[in-house]
Structure 1
């Protein structure tokens, strides 16, 4: 029987520096021994978004001490760790270099195996850590950089059923907030303003609603928000609240159609299952209460179990990276060579059709 395994996880793909220790029992049960996250929100808020150079420098300054904290909170030393897992992509290349190089250095110094983890795989497998979820299940990943509907069939086995053809949903929230003069990050600011708003005052478009394809589009919605604000300028606080509420309403109605079709496809493909099928949500936008309520309602209507991991595990964290490493070890998948390189673009489903073209860094989406 496989022994209890413990992995040090490192996450530096964007603007959170994180380190964690996670263990896995022989029966597959996971437990987070420590999870340390340092947000760079204050460093970037003045710019209205993440500045890659500032993010990379902040990772350099903080990562070593965060790893020490993670080990101390788990009451462990590096000698007690069985492997190192570090985010290798996708993300901001400067941050990825910091985390992956640190992981390589620790692996080389300790003789431990290194697992270069796809950040999206960390999100995809989190529900197995928190809820012991069995394969297959559907994952909705909604963040500042991604909006994807993914069939999770197994470790390393993913089918991307839908993706955004332009802006990610988190990006649409951030740009809407910036347009209306709300603070960064935009998601929480828009949600807070919407509480006192009238969601029916503005009729915003619901892109791709009614189409059989499962992709998403939010660029037109963002443009409609700008046009509405310009038409009534200067906007009052109530105008802003109404625009935000109407924006969220359009997002919810769009997701109801898009995700509903995805759940229907899942049922058609797999038929009756021994246990209720599951829809999992992950990513920073998963913190939005109206979106969660919409997804819960859709899941109930299609006979699905809705799973939303704790908010701390929906946003960027190292526990999910460590867990992805443990999942790969459990499947006897090989560790990575120390020559592995970071990848700013790294689609989770390598066989998915490219929607936005490719470049030197790989497929865009």
Structure 2
């Protein structure tokens, strides 16, 4: 029996149209985009430039604001650690972030703290979202960066980016958003030009693993004053050296183009699937982890009273592929830092399960999931 894949927040399947594009530039037009002396290199360069347009269009940006990276983890590191030299030069070394960020944000912030930066990590509301007024209260003249994710990877709670952008207003602090779970799925909020930097991962948007981007918007003519984390080669305006993986870049560009035309259909399909799943689980009296009014349609994080998540994973493993937290911390059995930060009861945190799907997911076996979880009640 093949389990139904319900872990799309960890990684999505690759869209067949993206597979075709990646294969073409991997096997047929395989030139190096840095080769200037022949047609193979020119074709590669043109495809990279087209991908910059496809990615930037989705967030109402400009092609030359797109820096290709290995994924959102690298993009987050570049956005945060890359500002350190500017912060030292200006004497503004205060950063605002949240307690529910991905480790790819929290750990770079810890590194800056060790260098003398002051980090204010805001706690979420019990519903899992950051109150914009908390950002307002934390904002100081020496704040250099505000970093808030778009959609939480564990709970699926969408953060109030527009309201936070209004709070920041004309303050000089740079606004960084980890958009790994949102890019191509939550479109309008990411087009707000008060957001200075957006981190993207292709494998969250039906493209292959290993490729992402940092969209770093200009303020007028001024670029975000980032210092590269690596050197050697000068690619990506010197911010990310190394030979460009043209086939992966082509895949991300295609995925972004598909999302631009189809994301509303995805929302409708995912919403219908969520409604049906909640109906199937209703007899279990599940407790939702995350404000249901703010949760995206493709994620459900819940606890079943009396059921431990580790036991649930064992009981469900041949039926559905699900998780009980972030894929990047799945080797750890520590309680979810996201749910703990929201102040949820310990037993509720210990019982949390995350189901995440997409428009490519076949029918979710909700009734069978409910039956197996019911059998585990103590």
TM-score norm. by structure 2 comes to 0.27
Higher RCO (C-alpha under 8 Å, 6+ residues apart): 2
- TM-score normalized with structure 1 length: 0.28
In terms of fraction of residues, the more strand-rich structure is: 1
